[in-house]
Structure 1
């Protein structure tokens, strides 16, 4: 399986909530950095917990419109995260509002094809505005 195939496979596994298969593609020393929040998860268990936290806030949450850029040992996944906010996101209560937010996920792989590092990039202000937690910026 190529790294591009692996990244696309993770989309399917996330959408199906197949956490065991998802974790099997992660290196034991992997880390995931949520750049918008400044939080780092270390190891497969914490990575899966980060994925599950999104599902906790959006039980119907799906990765849609996925496309991957191949950089060899690095892949870049551009996608839309969509779902209804029916659960808390950290300390933010559920709003019942629809979210459609562009995301970028960068992954690095070792020689065995396991994911060693992931980074999430998304616009947290847009997310908070869509969910009604803050007003849209003026201008």
Structure 2
């Protein structure tokens, strides 16, 4: 179970505290077990800081606490604080990565049978799509809907999410796409063939959780080969 520790302190010497934490990170490189750390400053009190440190488990957090460098830095941190810092230990019981969830929901929605939903609950009106297979980027919700309809008219398909990595306002999704060629696609008459390809998409999100920009990489050449479009070139 993921474990989070909240460190609450007050200090008028934030710059020194920041340098101390940089030193700690450097000294514990390769040994520190924390996976994520955020420091927030109280908007109503500049001296009030809260650090949120995430660990894979409570046991890993204890390993981190037992490092000699941790003990030394803790004593130096206390000396920089206006009062004794407090620690709150939390077992994470719910963890919603909303941007990643919206990325998965978009892929599911694109593959939905029937009419394509409006998508304005998932994508910004000024959405900008980068696809190296297209001569020009698709800009705007209407433009990307037309691109999606081209694929939907050509195939019955679905996405399988293989991996996702979230960082800041971006989510990287590695996916597998599989479908049946049911309609004309890029001038190729329907073949009824079952096709498959892999790809990766990076999406950038707005603060409201809507996708505002996307970068696609996928094996379109492999797809065209499966459709027989390269057969004439090989003879």
Match of 1:120 in 2: 216
C-alpha separation between the residues in 2 aligned to 1:62 and 1:49?
Answer: 18
Match of 1:72 in 2: 168
Pairwise CA distance, 1:94: 1.9
Match of 2:61 in 1: none
Match of 1:20 in 2: 117
Instruction: Verify the 8 A CA contact 1:23 1:48 in the aligned structure 2.
Output: no
Q: TM-score, normalised by structure 2?
A: 0.53
Pairwise CA distance, 1:31: 1.2
Pairwise CA distance, 1:36: 2.4
> Residues 1-139 of structure 1 correspond to what in structure 2 (within 5 A)?
2-17=98-113, 19-20=116-117, 22-58=119-155, 60-135=156-231
In 2 relative to 1, CA 115–65 (structure 1 residues): closer, same or farther, beyond 3 Å? closer
C-alpha separation between the residues in 1 aligned to 2:182 and 2:117?
Answer: 24
Q: State the aligned residue count.
A: 136
3-state SS of 2:216 partner: strand
Pairwise CA distance, 1:66: 4.0
- Please identify the structure whose Cα radius of gyration is greater: 2
Gaps of 5+ in 2: 1-96
Q: Which has the higher contact order (CA 8 A, sep 6+)?
A: 1
Instruction: Verify the 8 A CA contact 1:109 1:115 in the aligned structure 2.
Output: yes
Gaps of 5+ in 1: none
Q: CA RMSD in A?
A: 2.1
C-alpha separation between the residues in 1 aligned to 2:230 and 2:143?
Answer: 29
C-alpha separation between the residues in 2 aligned to 1:61 and 1:39?
Answer: 25
| 89-98 vs 40-49, greater mean Cα deviation | 89-98
